[in-house]
Amino acid sequence: MLKKEFVLDIDYKRYTEGISRALQHFYHYPQGVGFIKLRKDGNGEIVGWEIDNEKCEMSDCDNFLRVDEAVKKHRDGWHFNFFTYHFQPDNNDDVEPLHQYRIDLDKTSLHANPDDLLEYPPHMEYPEHLILNIEKFNLAAALYCANHYQKTKKYPLKQEYGEEYNGLIETTYKGVKR
């Protein structure tokens, strides 16, 4: 599947506030959004940002979310050039281990990557094959979804849980929308 333009109509201030709230409530590192590298024009106006391989560590366990994101200003909102939101569990829970997943926007497509240990063909799941709405995915949503998975153990790429996560994604998106 070829990549289509990925533009989200978000407000940067509300977006960083949503990220900061999630980090404050559910993550012990980082605290705050100082890891976001801003790009500004000659007038000091924000024209984009980057997040480079940031590790967001959950508060009450060793699970974490690895994040990359590059965004630039667009007439209709913010154009996401690429992102990776990769949930990585520590799996100290032998009774019900968690599985990794990754939501990616790369140079060719928007897709989800399920854990190789699960029997999910194919390796990449495109938006039209998922109930989970990855077309509104962003860092704020990724942080809340990872926390929800860690608490409920409901794998977000399983079709039966897609609508549950979509409610969380939609609520998060409304909170950061312009």
Q: Which of the four pLDDT bands, split at 50, 70 and 90, describes residue 74?
A: confident
Residue 125 near residue 137, CB atoms below 8 Å: no
The single-letter code of the amino acid at 54 is E
Dist. CA 71–CA 7, nearest whole Å: 9
Beta bridge partners of 56: 65
CA-based nearest residue to 57, from 39, 35, 38, 37: 35
pLDDT of 56 > 70? The answer is yes
Residue 162 near residue 131, CB atoms below 8 Å: yes
Q: Which of the four pLDDT bands, split at 50, 70 and 90, describes residue 121?
A: low
For residue 133, give the DSSP letter: -
Q: Counting runs of H as helices and runs of E as strands, what totals does the chain give?
A: 3, 8
The single-letter code of the amino acid at 48 is G
Residues 33-54, mean pLDDT to the nearest whole number: 96
Please indicate whether residue 168 or residue 6 has the higher confidence score (pLDDT): 168
pLDDT of 136 > 70? The answer is yes
Q: Which pLDDT belongs to residue 122? A: 63
Q: Which pLDDT belongs to residue 6? A: 84
Report the chain's mean pLDDT, rounded to a whole number. Answer: 91
Dist. CA 103–CA 125, nearest whole Å: 9
Dist. CA 168–CA 145, nearest whole Å: 7
